[in-house]
Structure 1
Amino acid sequence: MEKNKLLRMDNVGIVVDSLDDAIAFFEEIGLNFEGRSIIEGEWAGRVTGLGSQRVEIAMMATPDGHSRLELSRFLTHPTISDHRTAPVNALGYLRVMFTVEDIDEMVSRLIKHGAQLVGEIVQYEDSYRLCYIRGAEGLLIGLAEQLDNQ
């Protein structure tokens, strides 16, 4: 019998308080808004283990169409914990990393939308310039600019 093969990664889910703010922030980074809908009912709760639930979601896609973020705002079953202020060495999911053309220009634009630089923009060897920012709702986002001298 042949081993089951991974086909793709569909999306990363992020729970937010304000879908509008999160959509605007990720659009500023360059993701494309695909749509918004309500997911509800007993079937959805069977997947998440929360029982009957009601969640508003928005799908955002990278320009190449290969990766997506599913932004979720729980309407029924309130959020019970908040990991947005966890330090970068906390256990669990940490951040989403995006490759951008011009990291300085991107950081400048995102700061105008309330983002804060976590540390500083640094260069890794001759390969990348990198930074972490806290964006919409304090979400930790990584930015990378690939250097041309590769």
Structure 2
Amino acid sequence: MPITLDNVGIAVRDLEAAIAFFTDLGLEVVGRDTVSGEWTDTAVGLDGNHANIALLQTPGGQGRLELFEYLHPDAIETEPTLPNEIGMHRVAFQVDDIAHSLEIAAAHGCHPLRGVANYRDIYKLTYLRGPSGILVMHAQDLTRAET
């Protein structure tokens, strides 16, 4: 059976702020909707499920994020995920210029957890807290020829 990854879903506090963050990094909004009703209750497993959603994709469409802002039931606030916790970990993006991508993130109040690391002169990478505390990795491939 062939299988492909369609998207990664992330619940956020503020849909507009999350969209602004990810579109400034270069993703494109490809769909928006408000969903509710019996079908969403069944699919998600929550009674009275009602959410605003946005689907974003990377240039070329290789990766997609589906962002959810719950209207009902109320979103449950949790502590931000730590890098060593079991479960959904982070979303990672390969960027052409990590310094530039971090400037964009900083404009949204998002900064590296500690700094930018160099992995064997292959990657520069860092984790930062994105909107709603999401862990977001930025990685620049140092082996790619600069244009």
Query: Deviation per CA, 1:16-37, whole angstroms, max 9, x where unpaired?
Result: 1111000000011110011211
Give the 3 Å change call, closer, same or farther, for CA 27–149 of structure 1 in structure 2.
closer
Q: Does 1:52 align with 2:48?
A: yes
Distance of 1:99 and 1:35 partners within structure 2 = 23
Distance of 2:144 and 2:132 partners within structure 1 = 35
Distance of 2:13 and 2:30 partners within structure 1 = 19
Distance of 1:112 and 1:11 partners within structure 2 = 26
Report the CA distance between 1:113 and its aligned residue. 1.5
Q: 1:94 aligns with which of 89, 108, 114?
A: 89
SS in 1 for 2:20: helix
* Structure 2 unaligned regions, length at least 5: none
The equivalent residue for 1:42 is: 38
* Structure 1 unaligned regions, length at least 5: none
Distance of 2:31 and 2:2 partners within structure 1 = 29
Task: Give the partner amino acid of 2:86.
Answer: L
Structure 1 segment 1-150 matched on structure 2, within 5 A? 4-6=1-3, 8-83=4-79, 85-148=80-143
Task: Give the partner amino acid of 2:118.
Answer: Q
Distance of 2:90 and 2:109 partners within structure 1 = 18
Distance of 1:116 and 1:9 partners within structure 2 = 28
Give the 3 Å change call, closer, same or farther, for CA 149–9 of structure 1 in structure 2.
closer
Q: Would you say the 8 A contact 2:51–2:71 is kept in 1?
A: yes
Distance of 2:70 and 2:130 partners within structure 1 = 20
Distance of 1:52 and 1:76 partners within structure 2 = 6
Q: Would you say the 8 A contact 1:127–1:149 is kept in 2?
A: no
Distance of 1:42 and 1:52 partners within structure 2 = 8
Distance of 1:51 and 1:139 partners within structure 2 = 25
Moved over 4 A (4+): none
Task: Give the partner amino acid of 1:110.
Answer: A
| Structure 2 length-normalised TM | 0.92
